[in-house]
Amino acid sequence: MSARTFILSLEGVCKTFEGFKAIHELNFYLDEGELRVIIGPNGAGKSTMLDLITGRARPDKGTVTFGRDTDLTTLNECEINQLGIGRKFQTPSVYSDHSVFENIWLSLEGRRGVLSTLFSRVRPADRDRVHEVLSTVGLSQVAHSKAGNLSHGQKQWLEIGMLIAQNPKVLLVDEPAAGMTDEETARTGELLMSLAGKHSIVVIEHDMVFVRQIARKVTVLHQGSVLCEGNVDEVQNNPRVVEVYLGRKKRGDS
């Protein structure tokens, strides 16, 4: 074994649902500050892998480790989130009746929940931090709009902003470009690239244009295991990947 420390390590992980092997002997290592893209056909186990990292599901076997030695399999979802592992689900969930500013403010690291926040004033340091996050995700212009009135793409960026507001070490993002226009997709790619380094990021995505835009290293998941890893060209030219994923996708089967 090397002495290298990863921010996330999954080793020999298995997860079965009613006899179906959703994750099978999965090994996955994420470097600190890395932006990793995970692709794979529907049902490959991509979202389940995130469930196992975030404590939403428990592995039947194997280890899930954060940093050098924090065993995530013994912690619940809330504890894992508090360690600095944030997840963005596919469908955006924002407080529609609150402003964009308030949504970020409510999410700030160290806040005690919606009620205590709504009855308190915005501290100057918090205001600065909210504006910093809004600028990062490109929503400064709509800070005072109701979140419910944003476009689909803007809601996704707001939700990424709400995650960043918690200052997570690891960001797990499931299919951020789904339902976005090409322009929104490209902006999302730029945003994620700007966040890498400061955060370690795992992005699950289907859109190969988007994958090519952002990816340094791509992991292909198939039947709950890693089929191959490499840069976009290596992965796209790998005959097994073409067979199980890209080939089928060309025929419109993904």
Sign of CA dihedral 11, 79, 128, 155: positive
Which residues does residue 201 pair with via DSSP β-bridges, in sequence order?
A: 35, 171
**Among residues 26 and 137, whose Cβ is nearest to Mg ion?**
26
13, 35, 48, 108: which one contacts ligand ADP (CB under 6 A)?
A: 48
Residue reference for tokens 């501290």: 123
Cβ neighbors of 200 (< 8 A, separation 6 or more) are 7, 8, 30, 31, 32, 33, 34, 169, 170, 171
6, 8, 10, 45: which one contacts ligand ADP (CB under 6 A)?
A: 45
Largest separation between any pair of C-alpha atoms in the chain = 59
> 35, 29, 82: which is closest to 202 by C-alpha?
35
Sign of CA dihedral 207, 20, 72, 32: negative
Cβ neighbors of 135 (< 8 A, separation 6 or more) are none
**Among residues 46 and 87, whose Cβ is nearest to ligand ADP?**
46
What is the footprint of Mg ion within residues 90-109 (CB under 5 A)? none
62 binds, among ligand ADP, Mg ion, none (CB under 5 to 8 A by kind): none
Cβ neighbors of 90 (< 8 A, separation 6 or more) are 174, 175, 178
- Whole-angstrom distance, CA of residue 71 vs CA of residue 91: 29
5, 12, 43, 216: which one contacts ligand ADP (CB under 6 A)?
A: 43
Q: Which pair of tokens denotes residue 141? A: 């212009």
Q: How far is the CB of 64 from ligand ADP (least distance, A)?
A: 15
Q: How far is the CB of 175 from ligand ADP (least distance, A)?
A: 8
**Among residues 142 and 220, whose Cβ is nearest to ligand ADP?**
220
> Is residue 89 near ligand ADP by the rule CB under 6 A?
no
What is the footprint of Mg ion within residues 26-55 (CB under 5 A)? 46-47
Strands 217-222 and 225-230 turn out to be: antiparallel
> Is residue 160 near ligand ADP by the rule CB under 6 A?
no
30, 34, 37, 40: which one contacts ligand ADP (CB under 6 A)?
A: 40
Catalogue the E-assigned strands of the chain.
8-17, 20-30, 35-39, 61-66, 70-71, 85-88, 170-174, 200-204, 217-222, 225-230
**Among residues 9 and 47, whose Cβ is nearest to Mg ion?**
47
> Is residue 22 near ligand ADP by the rule CB under 6 A?
yes
39 binds, among ligand ADP, Mg ion, none (CB under 5 to 8 A by kind): none
> Is residue 42 near ligand ADP by the rule CB under 6 A?
yes
Size of the site for ligand ADP (CB under 6 A): 10
Could you tell me which stretch among 5-13, 26-34, 45-53, 233-241 binds ligand ADP (CB under 6 A)? 45-53
Site residues (vs ligand ADP, CB under 6 A):
17, 22, 40, 42-48
Positions that interact with Mg ion (CB under 5 A): 46-47
